[in-house]
Amino acid sequence: MNIGIDLISFHTPAYYLDLRVLAERRGVDPDKFVIGVGQEQMAIPPPDQDIVTLAANAALPVLEEAGRDGIELLLFATESGIDQSKAAALFCHGLLGLPPTCRCAEVKEACYGGTAALRMAAAMVAARPHTKALVLAADVARYDLGSSGEPTQGAGAVAMLVTANPRVLALDPETGFHAEDIMDFWRPNYRAEAFVDGKYSTKMYLTTLIPAWQAYAAASGRTLADHAHLAFHMPFTKIAWKSYTRLCRAAGVPEPDEEETARILRPATVYNRRTGNSYSACVHEGLCSLLDNAPAPLDGRRLGFFSYGSGCVAEFYSGVVQPGYRGHLFTDRHRAMLETRTELTYRQYEDIFNYGVPQDGGDHVFAPYRGGPFRLAGVKDHKRRYEPR
Ligand code: CAA
């Protein structure tokens, strides 16, 4: 019996900053961001969007398509948690009208959280194949203004319905993973922005890719050529090219020419170039991008994934695209969402960055901005208040 992703949808804020604008302000050659780092734009969530609304906005189309019956598990992966106690999953449980017979919990391991939640959900569905799980992953990637991480900010959410006999992607049971206790990127509870050792984190990403791949290859007996495309965790899209070079070297195969490499890697990077990093949602945002933008039909083709969470956990895994998958995608919705976003000026970006949700413990009402069906209306009595738009 196959277990995997029955439906997958992604959501990103309705505002973005062009990285050429940021480059000009920072006195940097725009090619460094657009070519060197591989990012064009970064999504900026307005004050009335947070991880809960981003995730609920991603999930609604999935539930409108599949219904809510049989969903017994809701896992929410994030490293931008809004409460130290209550799971973000429960806010979404309420907004989305899920049944009371649904366990809810939050999962955290930096950008690896989405993959951890997906694998846990798949294990539960394998044990109880008549049930379904909803996996949400959402993050707002923030670094200090003017820091090296700034051009790799972004935001986004992914919703995945995990079932037996999935319509989009059957997960292969073989995976390879690797964990180490390191400090490459972290965010203490008293800070809204992460600390990151940029070069070290990139080094560890690329280093842990190899044991994860080798464990996967040993478990599955597969070679790189068995995967039609690859989707990597993408803090910035250039890392997919760096990773592929490393993988080819480790696998002892010559790297294909530029055109073939781009054919394998580019489809998964189309959305991320325009949203920036979405941390725990990133690798599956890459999957959405790949499914929506692959140059040829993927029915029956195997895809490879690499997930990396700082701290750190790395996993290489794979899945087979199901025949007829195209009829179950949200491609038009994804494209329309990206095409209708509003570009911010630098000043507007900085104003939004500095606003945030007030930490003074007072009551606040947030003006409505553009966005999906759910918004954060304000804070009252120390409780976030969400509402349909
Ligand atoms: N034209 C074209 N390319 C240019 C250029 C120009 N004018 N100027 C510079 N470049 C190139 C550089 O040669 C370099 O390319 P290579 O890496 O191929 O050599 C690239 O642009 C970047 O330049 P720098 O290395 O000088 O950039 P930087 O040090 O300012 O920042 C970064 C890079 C460290 C990754 C930074 O963006 C950062 O700190 N990001 C946040 C941390 C991060 O994303 N880490 C990734 C791994 S951790 C992870 O994956 C978890 C997560 O999501 C955070």
Tell me, yes or no, if the pTM score tops 0.85.
Answer: yes
Q: What is the distance in A from the centroid of ligand 1 to the CA of 32?
A: 8
In whole angstroms, give the CA distance from residue 176 to residue 213.
6
Q: What is the pLDDT of residues 7-44, one digit of tens each?
A: 999 999 999 999 999 999 999 999 999 999 999 999 99
Mutation probe of ligand 1 site: the residue of 152, 187, 243, 305 with most atoms within 8 A of C-beta: 152
- Summarize the confidence of residues 76-90 as an average pLDDT: 97
Centre of ligand 1 from the C-alpha of residue 162, in Å: 34
Whose Cα sits closest to atom 38 in ligand 1? 149
Query: Ligand 1 atom closest to Cα of 143?
Result: 41
Instruction: Give residue 112 CA to ligand 1 midpoint distance, Å.
Output: 20
**C-alpha 217 – ligand 1 centre gap (Å):** 29
Q: Is 306 in the pocket of ligand 1 (CB under 6 A)?
A: no
Confidence of residue 104 (pLDDT cuts 50, 70, 90): very high
What is the spatial distance between Cα 309 and Cα 114, in angstroms, rounded to a whole number? 10
Residue 359's pLDDT is what?
A: 84
pLDDT at 356: 80
Nearest CA to ligand 1 atom 50: 235
Pairing state between β 103-107 and 313-321:
unpaired
Question: 35 CB less than 6 Å from ligand 1?
Answer: yes
Nearest CA, atom 40, ligand 1: 149
Pocket test for ligand 1, best of 34, 197, 202 (most atoms within 8 A of CB): 202
Instruction: Give percent of the chain above pLDDT 90.
Output: 97
Strands 342-343, 383-388: pairing is unpaired
Q: Whose CA is nearest to atom 5 of ligand 1?
A: 32
Q: Catalytic site residues?
A: 79, 111, 233
Determine the distance separating the centroid of ligand 1 and the alpha carbon of 242, expressed in angstroms.
Answer: 11
Does ligand 1 come within 6 angstroms of the Cβ of 183?
A: no
* pLDDT band per the 50, 70, 90 thresholds, residue 312: very high
Is the minimum distance from the CB of 32 to ligand 1 under 6 angstroms? Answer: yes
Question: What band does 243 get if pLDDT is binned at 50, 70 and 90?
Answer: very high
Instruction: Please list, in sequence order, all residues whose beta carbon lies within 8 angstroms of the beta carbon of residue 176, skipping any fewer than 6 positions away.
Output: 211, 212, 213, 214, 215, 216, 217, 218, 219, 315, 316, 317
pLDDT of residue 299: 98
Summarize pLDDT for 148-195 with one digit per residue, the tens: 999 999 999 999 999 999 999 999 999 999 999 999 999 999 998 889
- Binding site membership of 149 for ligand 1 (Cβ less than 6 Å): yes
The answer to whether 80 and 140 have CB atoms below 8 angstroms apart is yes
Ligand 1: residue whose CA is nearest its atom 41? 149
Distance 199 CA to ligand 1 centre (A): 8
CATH topology of domain 3-388: Peroxisomal Thiolase; Chain A, domain 1 (3.40.47)
Domain coordinates in residue numbering, the chain = 3-388
Q: Is 330 in the pocket of ligand 1 (CB under 6 A)?
A: no
What pLDDT was estimated at residue 193? Answer: 87
Q: Using CA atoms, how far apart are residues 300 and 290, in angstroms rounded to an integer?
A: 14
- Give the pLDDT score at 389: 87
Average pLDDT of the residues of the chain:
97
In this structure, the residue with its CA closest to atom 6 of ligand 1 is 32
Task: Calculate how far, in angstroms, residue 238's C-alpha sits from the geometric centre of ligand 1.
Answer: 8
205 close to ligand 1 (CB < 6 Angstrom): yes
| Mean pLDDT (whole number) for 110-127 | 98
The residue count for the chain: 389
Nearest to 135 by CA among 3, 317, 292, 304: 3
- With vertex at residue 320, the alpha carbon angle to CA 317 and CA 326, rounded to the nearest 5 degrees, is 130
Q: Which H helix or E strand runs over 195?
A: strand 195-196
**pLDDT for position 357:** 82
* pLDDT-based confidence at residue 368 (cuts at 50, 70, 90): very high
Closest CA to 289 of 309, 315, 266: 266
Residues 77-105 have a mean pLDDT of 97
Q: Are 305 and 317 in contact (CB under 8 A)?
A: yes
Atom of ligand 1 at shortest range from CA of 30: 7
Q: What percent of the chain has pLDDT over 70?
A: 100
